[in-house]
Each structure stands twice: as structure tokens, then as C-alpha cells.
């Protein structure tokens, strides 16, 4: 298809060229046409033109007067005062985050005077391997008895260590109460919590780590050359029956001789 179109275009171009050559040859053989007779223009008397005026010498232009220092106000259109800029709307102050409560250093060896309180006491004995479970069982028995009597504890539960050895210890589990209770079950009695001067230490964390706290207490007593009684008191600042063991906060009181 492309070849037939090419050929058709080539033939048309040659035909146009031949016709143009014949026209040129015919024009060359025809005699030139007789030029028309020259017509002589009529003579006219020229009117003398007026002489060009001599231009006058330009006068020296006066010096441009200086602009007055203070042009009259009427000469100038008063400037349109610029519209006052709209003050940007101040961004609202960022709400200050509530600062976290600052936790001061826990007392360690702070002198204290214990005030005796009326308590419901549970007398028990435990070995060191199951110490925490035994103490929690004692608190449960005290709490269950108070619930049955519809009596609420008036203070934090206490553990008073009365004696210790390598295998275990004897203790009182105590619940402060505001009234005398009757018909007590076995191993329970009414009594008074310890009193007198004591050093206060704070333990945070599980009961299993109490050994580290007591070791630090022993070192503190040695450094201060202080002699403690055989009794140690633990005040549970967090409810031991409802608080995760690793979240316990326990005040340790060491009575001095």
C-alpha cells in the first residue's frame, strides 16, 4: 500500500513539471507587445515655495525650581491610613500536665515514739520458708472474725515478732479496734500494741526481699552503735490481703534498749 501511494505521487510531480516547461517555452517565443506612445506631460509653472522660517534660538530654559520643603497639604491627596493589623489571636495556653507527686526519701532510722493501741491479737508460729503465707493466714482469720462481729479495724494491721531463730519465729498478728471483744476463738486475745521509743525504717516491695531491709537495719544499728530489743514490729501501710505482694509498703519499727 505504501509503495503504490509513493509511485502515484512521483507521477503527478513529473506531469506538473512538464506543463510548467511548455508554458515557459510558449512565453519565450511570443513577440513582445507594442509599448504605448509616450504622453508628454503638460508644462506647469512651478509655484515658488515659501522660504522655510529660520528657527529662533531656543531660550535658555529656566532652572527647575527646587521642590518646597513642606508642600501644602492640599497639593497632595491625603494618604489613606493603613488598616490596623488585626492582632493575632493568642493561642490558648497549654494545659499544664498535673505534676507527678514527689516522693520524698523514705525515713531510714528515724526516731519515733510508739503509742499503745487496743488490738485483737492472733498468736502464731511460722518457719521462714512459709513465713508470708502464715502471716497472711493470720490476718485472714482476724479479718473474718471482725466481719462476723461487724467491727471495723481502727488502724493498720501489725506483725510483732516475739522471738526468732534459724528455723522460724513466733509472732502476734494484731488488728487495732476501738472496743473490747468477747467470745474470742482459740489463739485470739485482746491486748495492747507495743509502745516506747523505736527507730522507723520503710520497706517497699515483696516480703521475700525483707531480708535486704533487715540487713540494712542491722548495719545501721552497728554504725550508730545502737542496741535493739529482740522485738521487731511491722506495720502494713497497704492492705496485705488486697495488695500485690511486690507493691507492699511496710513500716519496720525497731525498739531500742
Domain map (residue ranges) of the chain: 115-255
Query: Residue 27: which pLDDT band, with cuts at 50, 70 and 90?
Result: very low
- pLDDT in the model for residue 230: 85
Q: Which run of H or E residues covers position 10?
A: helix 2-29
Average pLDDT of the chain is 75
* pLDDT above 60 (res 133): yes
Provide the grid cell at 217.
537495719
Provide the grid cell at 175.
488488728
Query: Residue 79: which pLDDT band, with cuts at 50, 70 and 90?
Result: low
Query: Residue 87: which pLDDT band, with cuts at 50, 70 and 90?
Result: low
Query: Residue 85: which pLDDT band, with cuts at 50, 70 and 90?
Result: low
Residue reference for cell 525515713 = 107
* pLDDT above 60 (res 13): no
| Residues 188, 116 contacting (CB under 8 angstroms) | no
* pLDDT above 90 (res 118): yes
| Residues 198, 209 contacting (CB under 8 angstroms) | no
CA 178 – CA 162 distance, rounded (Å)? 24
| Of 2-6, 15-19, 72-76, 178-182, the least confident | 2-6
Domain spanning 115-255: CATH 3.20.80.10? yes
Sign of the Cα torsion 175, 180, 181, 182 reads positive
Please, which residues have CB within 8 angstroms of residue 72's CB and are 6 or more apart in sequence?
A: none
Provide the grid cell at 155.
488502724
Q: What is the pTM of this model?
A: 0.60
| Of 6-10, 210-214, 229-233, 251-255, the least confident | 6-10
The backbone torsions φ and ψ at residue 32, rounded to the nearest 5 degrees and listed phi first, read -70, 150
Amino acid at each position: 500500500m505504501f509503495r503504490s501511494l509513493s509511485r502515484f505521487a512521483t507521477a503527478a510531480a513529473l506531469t506538473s513539471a512538464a506543463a510548467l516547461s511548455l508554458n515557459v517555452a510558449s512565453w519565450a517565443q511570443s513577440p513582445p507587445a507594442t509599448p504605448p506612445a509616450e504622453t508628454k506631460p503638460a508644462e506647469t509653472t512651478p509655484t515658488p515655495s515659501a522660504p522655510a522660517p529660520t528657527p529662533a534660538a531656543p531660550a535658555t530654559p529656566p532652572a527647575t525650581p527646587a521642590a518646597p520643603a513642606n508642600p501644602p497639604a492640599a497639593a497632595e491627596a491625603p494618604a489613606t491610613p493603613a488598616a490596623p493589623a488585626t492582632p493575632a489571636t493568642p493561642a490558648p495556653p497549654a494545659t499544664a500536665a498535673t505534676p507527678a507527686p514527689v516522693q520524698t526519701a523514705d525515713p531510714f532510722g528515724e526516731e519515733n515514739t510508739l503509742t499503745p493501741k487496743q488490738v485483737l491479737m492472733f498468736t502464731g508460729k511460722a518457719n521462714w520458708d512459709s513465713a508470708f503465707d502464715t502471716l497472711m493466714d493470720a490476718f485472714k482469720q482476724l479479718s473474718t472474725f471482725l466481719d462476723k462481729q461487724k467491727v471495723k479495724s481502727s488502724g493498720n494491721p501489725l506483725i510483732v515478732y516475739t522471738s526468732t531463730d534459724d528455723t522460724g519465729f513466733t509472732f502476734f498478728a494484731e488488728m487495732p479496734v476501738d472496743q473490747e471483744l468477747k467470745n474470742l476463738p482459740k489463739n485470739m486475745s485482746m491486748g495492747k500494741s507495743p509502745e516506747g521509743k523505736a527507730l522507723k525504717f520503710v520497706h517497699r516491695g515483696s516480703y521475700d526481699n525483707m531480708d535486704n531491709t533487715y540487713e540494712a537495719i542491722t548495719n545501721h544499728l552497728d554504725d550508730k552503735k545502737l542496741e535493739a530489743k529482740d522485738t521487731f514490729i511491722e506495720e502494713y501501710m497497704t492492705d496485705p490481703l488486697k495488695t500485690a505482694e511486690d507493691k507492699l509498703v511496710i513500716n519496720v519499727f525497731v525498739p531500742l534498749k
